[in-house]
Structure 1
């Protein structure tokens, strides 16, 4: 399938990604194929190919149809397997790589990514994937280029964890009002940011939210209580002001412990959350 995809106009190569590329798959894991293109892939050819390969009706979404960060693609059923085609603009990935080397990153709104889409994941996909089809060797050479984790990006992601402290601090007043939605969102984002910081501290690419807490809690140097404490906060934040306030204080303590473990900088002063 990868070899056929690589013959489509605009496609430069195909990469196996996800858990199967890392050797961490379960028997029911999907097959994720990153379809790297330049300019625009020839969608009529991709759609015809998808119809011929899939055992169930499918369509191919073009660049931008799935949102600003997940370019597009298709979901195929082939026998007992689910195969996902994920379109990736190779020139955009290269621009993100340049930003990563300069210690810059973006977090964008994207359907299917409740913590947001963190731009370094583009590079992480390439770094952790397995090249399956690469007629011009461009993808292979690019993968070699991104083999090392950029120290400027590491410093930026670790330093940005000040936001976790800021978010939790600003959840204290809403907790007193019994605002379950705001407190729950604050907890999720704060812990997600800490997970990103832990990955970066250990020079690991975090691709998305799936399974990231389980990985982060087992990284060397992570306080052993991080995982259980994080799950307790997320699993039962409370439903009334007293319970929510206790949860916010526990989250404050957790953020402080992680900051101490990673010697993170103090949170900068900033405007309080709007009442």
Structure 2
């Protein structure tokens, strides 16, 4: 990581901070899908009170410049908080995760329950099962109790009940398209575009659920869905075209919504 930081060594130092139970590498680097300029995402799984001043002390000792760290809840209700650092010339993000909450969400996943919450930085909304997906796709760096590693092993199997729930949730796409039609006569491109973004997001969730693949955020979700078995032909191109050419005049908006309805029919049956 960078020119002078060892990931395992940094993870061990973070794990020594009061409240931190385990540290994991997440994001594209954990999946091997990163670019040379991709950030390093470190998940700090904590329990109880997290010693944020202790984290500041670690950050001050490794960061190139003064790091920005938040208190718990500093980034909203689902992304607990964290910090942006530059270490050895490389961007390193620390992201807090309440391990007890992650365990509760995993229990919900196995029971076929999920939530979609408002969260800064997540325009589609934060789907609660992303917590489980993050664990499933992570690389465990520091975990002396073995709790995170055990959870990672459990989450390798996508829960059938969760898949069924997300597929049932696909009804929302048709509901949104019906609502979007109401904005057509006034040429309300903003409203139609907003509906279409969520339509595409719902379809992407359905496709990932059917394939038993974890989806952890919106970035790259359309391309990911297009590579899944069971995706309609040319899904990614067609979904991107909907959002890239919504239109302004009523005739253009209707054409776009007609294409969206055809795509929905192919995904949802």
TM over 0.5: yes
* Structure 2 residue 115 is the aligned partner of structure 1 residue 111: no
Map of 1:223 onto structure 2: 232
Shift of 1:216: 0.5
* Structure 2 residue 74 is the aligned partner of structure 1 residue 34: no
* Structure 2 residue 264 is the aligned partner of structure 1 residue 255: yes
Cα distance in 2 for residues equivalent to 1:147 and 1:41: 28
* Structure 2 residue 98 is the aligned partner of structure 1 residue 89: yes
* Structure 2 residue 25 is the aligned partner of structure 1 residue 16: yes
Correspondent of 1:61 among 48, 55, 70: 70
Shift of 1:118: 0.5
Equivalent residues in 2 for 1:137-152, closer than 5 Å: 137-152=146-161
TM-score by length of 2: 0.95
Cα distance in 2 for residues equivalent to 1:53 and 1:225: 45
Q: Is the 1:168–1:252 contact (alpha carbons within 8 Å) kept by the matching residues of 2?
A: yes
4+ residue runs over 3 A deviation:
none
SS in 1 for 2:60: helix
Cα distance in 2 for residues equivalent to 1:132 and 1:241: 54
User: Over the residues paired in the alignment, what is the CA RMSD in angstroms?
Assistant: 0.9
Cα distance in 1 for residues equivalent to 2:249 and 2:168: 33
Cα distance in 2 for residues equivalent to 1:197 and 1:73: 30
SS in 2 for 1:174: coil
Shift of 1:147: 2.0
Q: Is the 2:135–2:152 contact (alpha carbons within 8 Å) kept by the matching residues of 1?
A: yes
Shift of 1:80: 2.4
SS in 2 for 1:94: helix
Q: Is the 1:176–1:244 contact (alpha carbons within 8 Å) kept by the matching residues of 2?
A: no
Per-residue deviation, residues 125-160 of structure 1 (Å, max 9, x unmatched): 001101000121121122222221100000001111
